[in-house]
Amino acid sequence: MDKLIITAAICGAEVSKKKNPAVPYTVSEIAREAKLAYDAGASVLHLHVREDDGSPTQSKERFAACIDAVKAVCPDMIIQPSTGGAVWMSAAERLQPVELNPEYATLSCGTCNFGGDAIFINTETMIIEFAEAMRARNVVPECEVFDKGMIDMAVRLWKKGLIPGDRLRFNFVMGITGAIEGAARDLVFLQGSIPEDSLWTVSGIGRREMPLAAMAISMGGHVRVGFEDNVFLEKGVLAESNAQLVEKVVKLAQLLDRKVATPDEARAILGLSKR
């Protein structure tokens, strides 16, 4: 079994300081939270960026500023920009961080409801467009999956050569309103639906975060945690930093006798090249 890769999703696009004052917005806050998560054991930073007032943005310039600030304090951390952005953003807007040639980036593989009137739109045409943009810049995609049909879409496009890579790398986002739930049976179903040599991570939303993390650790998968997915350390107790959530995963890994990967070990597992 590979060492455990821990991804820190430190701010997302929409969670606010109203929900947890420690959610980072500014460049310096993002760098601080990234460093704390890195020191706690995270090897990958799943990066959304914000304006100073908390507004989500996909600005290439803002991403560049945040990436530079993170690299200054933890130069070997894997930085994975999100191309998901926020639900109202255009495809062109969402693709901007790929122009910075990151080693790794997200590729959302289907459309789904996000609760209320929010619809996260990713048509087949958009998925192919995003994948081609990544291929052109040798960016490795992580396929974001919110439901089983998104696995089928990713596998079909990959077999056609439209999603680059010698194998697929998945992130199962579980517990979003309008998408797959976060029960044990759901993770077993998703994991059993991907090609055998695929790599996978689980991102449990809210109270599902740690139970799914424990399952992933024992099943040979990897784990994402952070304020994007959950702002609580335990029921009714806000986490003071993303690092506290990473530390809980590290403790789970120790209990389950699985070692945690360093950034360089994570690169080797994921097949990435440092930039």
Annotate 82-101 with DSSP letters as a single string.
Answer: -S---TT--HHHHTGGGGG-
Q: Is 21 within the bounds of a domain? A: yes
What is the rounded average pLDDT for all residues in the chain? 97
The token pair that represents 29 in the structure block: 């806050």
Is residue 39 over pLDDT 90?
Answer: yes
Query: What is the domain extent for residue 237?
Result: 6-269
User: Which string of DSSP letters, residue by residue, matches 29-80?
Assistant: HHHHHHHHHHHHT--EEEE-EE-TTS-EE--HHHHHHHHHHHHHH-TTSEEE
**Spatial contact of 237 and 216, defined as CB atoms under 8 Å apart:** no
38 within a domain of the structure (yes/no): yes
Q: Report which secondary-structure segment, H or E, holds 57.
A: strand 56-57
List the structure tokens of 128. 């192919």
Q: How confident is the model at residue 128 (pLDDT cuts 50, 70, 90)?
A: very high
CA-to-CA distance for 98 and 192, rounded, in angstroms?
Answer: 30
Q: Note whether residue 56 is domain-resident.
A: yes
238: tokens are 């806000």
Domain membership of residue 274 (yes or no) is no
Whether pLDDT at 139 is above 90: yes
Q: Over range 195-219, report the average pLDDT.
A: 97
DSSP secondary structure code for residue 96 in this structure: G
Question: Per the structure block, which two tokens stand in for 117?
Answer: 């009137």
pLDDT for the residue 196:
94
Domain-located, residue 53: yes
Which uninterrupted H or E stretch holds 113? strand 112-113
The strand pairing partners of 238, in sequence order, are: 232
3-state secondary structure (DSSP) of residue 140: strand
What proportion of the chain, given as a percentage, has pLDDT over 90? 95
Under a CB-based contact definition with an 8 Å cutoff, are residues 188 and 220 in contact? no
The number of C-alpha atoms within 13 Å of 90 and in the hemisphere containing its C-beta is 4
**What pLDDT score was predicted for residue 214?**
98
Domains in the chain, number: 1
77 located within any domain: yes
Question: What pLDDT, on the 0 to 100 scale, is given for residue 274?
Answer: 85
> What confidence category does residue 116 fall into, taking pLDDT thresholds of 50, 70 and 90?
confident
Summarize pLDDT for 101-115 with one digit per residue, the tens: 999 999 999 999 988
Q: In this predicted structure, what is the pLDDT of residue 118? A: 87
12: which residues sit within 8 A by CB, 6+ positions away? 48, 226, 227, 228, 229
Find the mean pLDDT for residues 30-51. Answer: 98
pLDDT of 159 above 90:
yes
The predicted model gives 31-59 an average pLDDT of 98
CATH, residue 200: 3.20.20.70
Q: For residue 121, is pLDDT > 90?
A: yes
Gap between the Cα atoms of 142 and 104, Å rounded: 7
| Cα gap 139→42, rounded to integer Å | 21
73 band by pLDDT with thresholds 50, 70 and 90: very high
Q: In this model, does residue 25 exceed pLDDT 90? A: yes
Distance, in Å, from the CA atom of 245 to the CA atom of 231, rounded to the nearest integer, reads 9
Cα–Cα distance for residue pair 62/99, rounded to 1 Å: 12
Q: How many CB atoms lie within 10 A of CB 238?
A: 14
Is residue 275 over pLDDT 90?
no
